[in-house]
A and B are shown apart, each in its own frame.
Chain A
Amino acid sequence: MVLEKSGYELTLDVLGKSDVNALVGVVDQALQEPDEKFRRRTAEFLAKIPDAGVTRLLLRRFHDIGTTAQGALVASPDTLLEAASQLSAVDDTHVRANVVEALAALGDARAVPLMLKYVDDPAAPVRDRARALLHTVSRRQQGAPTAAGTKARTYVRTALNLVLRGREITDEGLTTIVSLGDEGFQLLVPFLSEKGADGADKIIDFLTRAPGIDVVRCLFYLAAVRPEHPRRVARDILKSRPEGAFLLDVARVVAEKGVTALGPLAATLRHLHWQVLTREDLAQLEVEAQRAVLELVRGSIGSTSERVERLVPLLASPSSDIRAETLQSLAELPTKRIFAHVVPLLADPVDVIALKATALIDVHEHFEAFGLLLKQLGHRCEHVREEAAKKLSGRTFFLLSRKWEGLGPEHKRRAARALMRIDPQFRRQLEAEVDSGDGIRVLRALGMIRQVEDLAPFAAMLANLTLFPDPFVRATGARLVGRLSGREAVRTCELLLGDQDPRVLANSIESLSAAGGPSAAPLLRVFLEHWHPRVRATAIVELWRLGFTDVAGSLREMLGHKDKRARASGRWAVEKLRALIGTPASAQADRGTAGEHAEEETHG
């Protein structure tokens, strides 16, 4: 036979199927009933419901709910501790007293930090109860507490003893205390507040050498407490520990709290020895912590060189943002001594950083800077190239002249082309050099012009070189004219063909061939009869290049000439033609050509 439920049992049955968490206000009415049995019956029912809101409700009425419900609550210590923690801020004295009661009933060492919140409670009953229960818990866990000292410190000693698991302050115990967080830290304050207090030296010694982020958190806590002595002790310890691992933990704690929330402690942290951090140390540090270090070092107190030293490790940060911001900070310092630290970042894989580093290179202070900037002119990023060119602008020719001989061909090419494009003064300075009349300077300028892609701006200047007294300069100019195009180039070549110097003539023949094409052939043929073999050989090669293979006879004649210089020039022409025709295999396929005959003659 099934008995139907009725009365209050039926009400509880319906309640159990409802959203009890949302109904705690209604259910609380039942727990306030004057009838004790009724209250207990309701509480027993509620204690079976696994809900945080219901647990808090029962905890608030812990004293009134009866032993069965109390037992059910204590059987779930984690839930109870969480609910107690949430209720610790409640204003109601009755609730606080109930929470203390519940924590005492729990008898768990984890309840001690929570219970410590109530030992200074404004309500005397709560305070007294908390202290008494703390002693009870302590005795239960530890035996008789050490009750020496003032009454006000007794509870602290008791709790400390409880946590330390012993009668003395040991490293192990202090490690446990600092791992408790703020509740543990506050235990240390009374000891440190009185100079010469029992155990103060041991605590200071522990905080001075113990590793771990909890110690750092403890020092941060102590450095902000009201009593002056612990505050000073904590700040001194923070400033006196130069270990990299300690600083990494400091950075992490600063990142947790936020630099702006540090208040007066920020000034202390700026004194730390951030310069001891190595690249490997920083690699272990989270980006946020690195940013915290950067913020602290930025505003750090000390000489400029000290601040540079503190910033430099951050240049090796794996985070490109940190590297960029560090570079920016270095740039803002009034010092020129950052060159050596910035140089490695010129080749940074992140273009923005390479750009910032390039911007920091001072070409006037360091001779090496110029070479580095020239190298940056060949950087893959256009902005970096522009920045390098901007730094070089105005002094480019002067600086390039000083470094020119030491540069490789590729760098010469890149530098000259970039400067021509970016620095308008560069061309004017080159022209001025050519106009100087000094052979060495002119030749160096021509060497730079040779690297430039488009020689059109220099056409008039090259034409003027036909009258230069030094034949070597004229010859160099004649070679460059070949890279010009149009009638002006042909005209300049024609002028140069009136030169007496064979080198000038040879180069002019090559240039005319390039600029004039087949129409220049009649003029070139004149030089097949020139007295100088080099000129003849050059004419043969250029005519061949233009498609006039009938010059084979002239070549054969040269190769069989009685003058050894003529034969040497003939062989040179053969080599040039061989290169012109292509590989030896293709040359063989092209039998009957002048090249083949010439080769035979050479061997003969």
Chain B
Amino acid sequence: MASILSHRRGPFGLVSSFIGWGAAEGLTAESDADERPLHAGYGLNASLGLLAVAFAANASRNGNAWAIDIFYVGVAWLFLPLAYVAARRDASPRQRFAAVMLATVALYAVRFIREPVAFIDHDEFLHWTTANHILDSGRLFSPNALLPVSPLYPGLETVATAIVSLSGMTMFQVATCLLAACRLGFVAALFLAYRRLSGSARVAACGSLVYMGSSTFLVFDTQFSYESLAVLFVAAVILADARSRDVRRTSHVVFVIVPLLAALAVTHHMTAYFASAYLFGLAVLEAFRAPPRRFLVSSILVAAWAVSAPIAWSKAMGDPEAGYLGPVLASGVHEAANLLTFSTGRTLFVSENGYVAPLWQRVAALASVAIVCLGLSVGFFRALALGGLPFGRELIRRPGRLREWRNGSAILLTLLTLAYPVSMLFRLTKSGWEIGNRIGPFSFVGVGFVIAVGVVSLMQGRGVAWAGAFATAATVVLVGGIISAEGPRILVPAKFEVSSDSASISHLGIEAAKWSRRWLGERNLFAADRINRLLLSTYGRQDVASTLQDGYDTSDAVLAPTFGPRERELLRKVGLDYLAVDLRITTALPGVGGYFDGGDRDRDYRSPPLANSLLKFDTQPLVGKVFDDGYVFIYDVRALDGTR
């Protein structure tokens, strides 16, 4: 470090050297001709890491508390050597690419080991329901009460049902293959785009590895959920745009970028808006840069298409995300504003049901944030310089150079990192936590690039110790990202946990849902808690009542201490056929804050609901109890409606 800063004098000189103020524009070029492949031993090491992860997963299912620690050790074990070889000065571009792709495959295998036989994550059930509706009806856009916006953005489900129809495989098998293709395609596109933008395979490799520290990388963006597909489209658009500036711009725009943006518009709203903002920003940068502006017209046309396609689709679908995202965004912004005045906030590392993360996990999560911030401070101005926007004496001497950037994409990715602190702010709030989590995958596109530029600039001409330091830091960022998103819930526990999504999917609940399909038929309208309605709508093929769909919160009737006219009227209005009651929710506080939809009655619990509240249906003369497995009861409430 001392040698890096040695050519500057004084505190300002040291700081400006560290942050890259006035850094040179380029990085050392690498030869594409170097074709040395990656040593097969790295594959063997990764497989041993996976073995440790599988051991941890089974240990967790058997109730061993140390399983989580072994899991993270396994992840670090498989990742660290690959990060090291990808960052080494003497590695060939082929070795770097292979190391990044091997890390991607291994981390996807971690996801598979986590859920090897069936879907377990909440959002997967939502989209599985939409896909089932498409398969059952042979039509798109069938309503989905669990997530009404899902059928209106059917990109993922369309592809999945196409493969199911063609292959005869189950939805889980198809999802596993499809998501593997999306994940590999996404990381490959990111690597290749970084390489195009920086001209360095080393930057590309380091940037891709840093991106894997995004909190959504390991689990959320490999779920059977629309964002998992949408991020592939975005990365492909960034790659195609970068590529088109070197070769065949028109063909890329017409045959690649426009179709990808169209598909993105019908796949995921938030990602489509991110792509709109990115391409709009590129057009603005192109318009303001000093001549020659070779790509001005095409950039404006692409930006216009990128902005108009998602808006037009949203309007055509009835503007569904306003009611879906609007309240979350408003609440998150409100809480973030309160947070800035120290009025309110989320207690970090403490789950809704009171679980406190172990010390080492808290340290790792905070260290990962610190490393990212350090990396951004090192890389920000260097990345701007790489884009042709040098700060320092050159800028002071010739202010006109401020508009002479060559690489608008690099500059935009650098500016994108400003979203990272915003996402951190949102993550400190209760309502905005999800917003912060969702900003992550987009801000990290810039974060990966900027940190990689900064790190590679520092590492140029230096020994393997620097590569080792980078690999260690990248591993901490990866582990910290997983902890901040999943924490102790990364593995399925031995015991059922109340309203804790993947920890609440049990054989018992699945059997009850399957029973409903077999004995009651499909498409009956059920009311149930958050977990059982996921199972009923997928394994059971039932319709479920939800506040999102019809505005009625059936938890008011289910959790009420008595069953009076108000509760009866509520069930009558909803038009329920059956009611599924799970007595297990009386045993603990909800892991995600609510047992049902998180309505007025269903939040801020200090104790679990009373069993008597759930059993009040036993005394209703017109209510039949058609199913009992000791925990889950299914009540037939059709006769409560006097008209039926």
Partners in one complex: no
Q: Show the binding face of B for A, using Cβ within 8 Å.
A: none
